[in-house]
């Protein structure tokens, strides 16, 4: 996504979409488990399980998702995909998907863009405005020590850290993300979010009259089971 919203806004959004997020993380676990069912030797699986546990997904759901990936349980075969385009007022949007029916998903994504004033483009049309980075968000409280967080993350390979009113954002190279994440976990920090994301290098600020269409398009996309994540370069917090 573009500008990250407040901690309270992010938690409220997660709570309202918990059932849908369960489905997305379950798929991510199943796909990751195809390369091995032991999270100690499969970072992608360990990370997917960590993400699921961060929203309190039941262990039974996690174990079933792993077994579907390893073939111990019958399951659906998913493939990854990505769509690029422009939302209202030319806001750049990337949609990552995990789907068992690419044609169905393509039709849905195109319809969402068209309905809310956007335009689905070709691969590469907006991705040049983004770069892949690890992003770890830690809530800012009275007990969090900014210097200690920075020292721990720097020693593990952090690229940058941004301090906001209610949070710290630690940015890493994708290859260093596992080390930085593990170092902060071992130091006892809990994450609001920790993932490898598309971060925008430039931002767009749409006029007020287009914000409603942009918010609705992203909401519709995020509520679809096939869609894993939606990234954008809007400078305005769309979760408010």
For residues 100 and 111, give the distance between their C-alpha atoms in angstroms, rounded to a whole number: 18
196 part of a folded domain: no
Cα 104 to Cα 114, 115, 121, 191, 216, distances in angstroms: 16, 16, 17, 34, 20
% of the chain beyond a pLDDT of 70: 92
The tokens describing 177, both together, are 């993300």
Phi, psi of 35 (to 5 degrees): -100, 15
- The residue among 14 and 35 whose pLDDT is bigger is 35
Whether 3 has a pLDDT exceeding 60, the answer reads no
39 part of a folded domain: yes
pTM score > 0.85 for this model? Answer: yes
pLDDT of res. 76:
87
Its domain, for residue 55, covers 7-70
231 part of a folded domain: no
Whether 16 has a pLDDT exceeding 70, the answer reads no
153 part of a folded domain: no
Structural domain count, the chain: 1
Q: 237: pLDDT confidence band, cut at 50, 70 and 90?
A: confident
Average pLDDT on 219-240 reads 91
For residues 59 and 42, give the distance between their C-alpha atoms in angstroms, rounded to a whole number: 18
CATH of the domain at 13: 1.10.10.200
163-177 pLDDT tens trace: 998 999 999 999 999
From the list 191, 181, 180, 141, the residue with the least C-alpha distance to 158 is: 180
Average pLDDT on 1-30 reads 73
29-86 pLDDT tens trace: 999 999 999 999 999 999 999 999 988 999 999 999 999 999 999 988 999 999 999 9
From the list 46, 58, 57, the residue with the least C-alpha distance to 185 is: 46
Average pLDDT, the chain: 92
The C-alpha torsion from 27 through 29 and 33 to 35, rounded to 10°, is 90
Q: 210: pLDDT confidence band, cut at 50, 70 and 90?
A: very high
- The residue among 143 and 121 whose pLDDT is bigger is 121
Whether 13 has a pLDDT exceeding 70, the answer reads no
pLDDT of res. 1:
43
DSSP string spanning the chain? Answer: --S---HHHHHHHHHHTHHHHHHHHHHHHHHHHTT-S-TTS-HHHHHHHHHHHHTT--HHHHHHHHHHHHTSS-----EEEEEEEE-GGG-EEEEEEEES-HHHHHHHHHHHHHHTT-EE--TTTTGGGEEEEEEEEEE--TT--HHHHHHHHHHHT--EEEE-SSEEEEEE-GGGHHHHHHHHHHTT---SEEEEEEEESS-B---HHHHHHHHHHHHHHHTSTTEEEEEE-BSS-TT-
36 part of a folded domain: yes
113 part of a folded domain: no
Average pLDDT on 155-162 reads 96
Q: 238: pLDDT confidence band, cut at 50, 70 and 90?
A: confident
Average pLDDT on 207-214 reads 94
50 part of a folded domain: yes
Whether 231 has a pLDDT exceeding 50, the answer reads yes
Whether 125 has a pLDDT exceeding 80, the answer reads yes
Whether 181 has a pLDDT exceeding 60, the answer reads yes
């Amino acid at each position: 996504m573009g500008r990250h919203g407040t901690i309270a806004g992010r938690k409220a959004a997660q709570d309202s979409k918990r059932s849908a997020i369960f489905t997305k993380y379950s798929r991510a676990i199943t796909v990751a488990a195809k390369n091995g069912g032991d999270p100690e030797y499969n970072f992608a699986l360990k990370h997917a399980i960590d993400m699921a546990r961060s929203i309190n997904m039941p262990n039974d759901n996690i174990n079933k998702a792993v077994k579907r990936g390893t073939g111990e349980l019958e399951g659906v075969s998913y493939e990854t995909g990505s769509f690029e385009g422009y939302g209202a007022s030319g806001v750049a949007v990337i949609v990552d998907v995990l789907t068992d029916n690419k044609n169905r998903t393509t039709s849905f994504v195109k319809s969402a863009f068209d309905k809310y004033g956007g335009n689905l483009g070709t691969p590469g049309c907006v991705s040049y405005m983004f770069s892949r980075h690890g992003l770890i968000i830690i809530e800012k409280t009275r007990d969090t020590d900014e210097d200690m967080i920075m020292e721990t993350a720097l020693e593990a390979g952090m690229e940058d850290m941004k301090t906001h009113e209610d949070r710290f954002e630690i940015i890493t190279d994708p290859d260093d993300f596992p080390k930085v994440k593990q170092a902060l976990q071992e130091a006892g920090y809990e994450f609001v979010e920790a993932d490898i994301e598309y971060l925008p290098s430039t931002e767009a600020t749409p006029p007020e009259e287009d914000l409603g269409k942009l918010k609705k398009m992203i909401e519709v996309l995020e509520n679809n089971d096939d869609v894993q994540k939606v990234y954008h370069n809007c400078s305005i917090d769309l979760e408010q």
